Chain A
Amino acid sequence: MKGLFIKDIRLIANQKRFLILYLAVALILSFSMDSSFIVSYVPMMAMLLVLSTISYDYNDNGMSFIMTLPNKPGDYAVEKYIFSASGVTFMWLVSMVLQFVSFMIQKTEYVLSEVILTDALMLPMFLLIIAIMIPIELKYSPEKGRTVLFIIFGIVMIAVIAGKGLVEKIGGAGDVMELFVKLQNMSPVVLIIAAYAVCLIVLSISMVSTIRIMQNKEF
Chain B
Amino acid sequence: MIRLNNLQKEYKGFKLDITMDVPEGRVTGLIGRNGAGKTTTIKCILGLVRPTAGEAEVFGRNPLDLTSDERQMIGVALSESGFSMLFTLEDVIKVLSASYKDFDEKRFRDMCSAQSLPFDKQIKDYSSGMKAKLRVLVAISHNAKLLILDEPTAGLDVIARNDILAIIRKYLDENPERSIVISSHISSDLEGLCDDIYMISDGKIILHEDTDVLLGKYGLIKMSSEEFETLDKRYIVAKQEDRFSVTCLTSEKQFYVENYPKLVIENAHIDDIIVLMLGGEK
Contact = CB atoms under 8 A, between A and B. Distances in A.
Q: Is chain B in direct contact with chain A in the complex (CB below 8 A)?
A: yes
A61 B79 CA distance: 10
A62 B86 CA distance: 11
Interface string A1-36: 011011100110011000000000000000000000
A14 B68 contact: no
A70 interface: yes
B78 interface: yes
A68 B139 CA distance: 10
B98 interface: yes
Contacts of A15: 86
Given A65-B76, A68-B46, A68-B48, A3 B82 contact: no
B76 A68 contact: yes
Contact of B84 (A60, A64, A75): A60
Nearest to B73: A70
Is chain A's interface secondary structure helix, strand, loop, or mixed overall?
Answer: helix
Nearest to B88: A14
Contact of B74 (A14, A64, A68, A71): A68
B49 A218 contact: yes
A59 to B, nearest CB: 7
A79 B72 CA distance: 19
A151 to B, nearest CB: 28
A64 B81 contact: yes
A64 B99 contact: no
B231 to A, nearest CB: 49
B95 interface: yes
Contacts of A6: 94-95, 97-99
B86 A14 contact: yes
Given A68-B46, A218-B48, A219-B49, A3 B98 contact: yes
B80 interface: yes
Contacts of B99: 2-3, 6, 69-71
A11 B123 CA distance: 13
B204 interface: no
Contact of B85 (A10, A60, A64, A72): A60
Given A3-B98, A10-B87, A68-B48, A62 B68 contact: no
A100 interface: no
Nearest to A72: B68
B269 interface: no
Contacts of B48: 64, 67-68, 218-219
A63 interface: yes
Nearest to B138: A65
A180 B97 CA distance: 55
A201 B43 CA distance: 36
Nearest to B82: A65
Nearest to B70: A70
Interface in A179-219: 218-219
A14 B81 CA distance: 19
Contacts of B15: none
B16 to A, nearest CB: 13
**Which interface residue of A3, A6, A69, A71 has the most chain B CB atoms within 10 A?**
A69
A38 B252 CA distance: 80
Nearest to B101: A70
A56 interface: yes
Interface string B91-107: 10011111110000000
Given A14-B87, A70-B68, A5 B82 contact: no
Given A3-B100, A14-B91, A218-B50, 9 more contacts: A5-B98, A7-B84, A59-B84, A60-B81, A64-B81, A65-B78, A68-B46, A70-B74, A219-B49
Interface of A: 2-3, 5-7, 10-11, 14-15, 56-57, 59-65, 67-72, 75, 218-219
A-B pairs, top 4 by smallest CB distance, nearest first, are: A3-B99, A70-B71, A64-B81, A65-B81
